[in-house]
Amino acid sequence: MKRYRLTCSRASLSDSLRPGRTGSSVIAAAALFTLALPGVPAHAAVATCFGVPATITGAGTLTGTPGNDVIVGSPGADTIDGRGGHDLICGLAGGDSIQGGTGNDWIDAGPGDDMVRGDLFSASGDVVASDGNDVLLLGDGNDRGTGDNVAVSGNASGAGNDRIEGGAGDDRLAGDNNSFIGRTTGAGNDILNGGPGVDELHGDGQAGTVATGAGNDLLDLGADGGRFAIGDNNLLTRGGVATSAGNDVIRGGTAGDLLVGDNWADNSLRAGTDQLVGRAGDDTLFGDNVDFDQAMTVGSAGGRDLLSGDAGSDTLRAGPGNDVLNGGPDSDTCDGEAGTGDLALACEAVTRVP
């Protein structure tokens, strides 16, 4: 039986076989041939956001289209504007500034100290009626997240039903709108989870002078608690007025938390029916509205609230309305305030409860 050997000339590879003496030469030549093959160039992986291939990538300033975009930033600090459409935006690492624009957007800011708005931002002038239902995942870092709109010097309105996840870090989250010297309007039903860190949660938003509108929100400071959680609006100046209140569920953590069922303002006209749970820690719970100095309940409006201190030495202040105050374990102080049909349970010190 004939044996064959694969040979290569200097000028070119020959795939012809010709008689040879041993089978081992065939194996050796085949091995050399295989090793001599040029490498196949690798293709760069396609960037994705929430598992969807990106339509826009880059670093620095990235701007979307009026349609549905998939935008992926860089490991550095990016500025991203989704504009219109239902967008997917991933900032990756770095301290990013992101706004989703109009539409129902999903935003993953990634690690870093990020500033994220679900809808629009204006440094001057008003932002009117942009209210997408957005999901904001802020990642690790000291982040600022607003579900709808931010107007630095004007008025802001919008009422999307948003979800904001703060992640690890000291975060400031607002479900609807922020206006630092103007008015806000919006009543979205939002979910805010602070995550680990010293967080501040506003179920609706912050206003300089007047806040109208309040949604039914779920606020959770996380297992470790935070600085405070306000069910509705925070008025940033003395004399500010809040005209609405939602029916909110607010949960603290192991820290000494301040939980406010409705508004933080000098003048509040409405109160919702809220459920506040301090969980562990020495907490202070206000069922309705609290004044600018966090010292006392304000206004005559009162909801039928459920205040639960849980573990820790807690202070529960029910406000107007007929409320249930449950101090839980440890030494708690329960004040029915202006209610005429309050019920106090497991409270070691009780005032103004029939």
Predicted confidence band at 43 (pLDDT cuts at 50, 70, 90)?
Answer: low
68-108 pLDDT, tens digit per residue, is 999 999 999 999 999 999 999 999 999 999 999 999 999 99
pLDDT at 2 over 60: no
Which contiguous run of DSSP H or E holds residue 13?
strand 13-20
Q: Give the per-residue pLDDT at 42.
A: 56
Higher pLDDT, 293 or 19: 293
What mean pLDDT do residues 139-152 have? 97
Q: Which has more confidence, 299 or 271? A: 271
Neighbours of 308 (CB within 10 A): 22
pLDDT-wise least confident of 20-29, 128-137, 277-286, 310-319: 20-29
Neighbours of 53 (CB within 10 A): 11
- Give the residues across from 268 on adjacent strands: 242
| Percent of the chain surpassing pLDDT 90 | 82
Q: 51 pLDDT exceeds 60? A: yes
Please give the Cα distance from 88 to 54 (Å, whole number): 9
**pLDDT of 36 strictly over 50:** no
**What gap in Å lies between CA 132 and CA 176, rounded to an integer?**
10
Closest CA to 327 of 343, 341, 315, 340: 315
> Taking 50 as the threshold, does the pLDDT of residue 226 lie above it?
yes
pLDDT at residue 163 is higher than 50:
yes
Which pLDDT value is given to residue 18?
36
Contact between 62 and 79 under an 8 Å Cβ cutoff? The reply is yes
Q: Of the ranges 70-79, 87-96, 121-130, 245-254, which one carries the lowest mean pLDDT score?
A: 121-130
Q: Please give the model's pTM, rounded to 2 decimal places.
A: 0.87
pLDDT at residue 130 in the model: 79
pLDDT, position 45: 81
pLDDT value of residue 234: 97
Mean pLDDT across 312-341: 96
- Selected residue with higher pLDDT from 26 and 304: 304
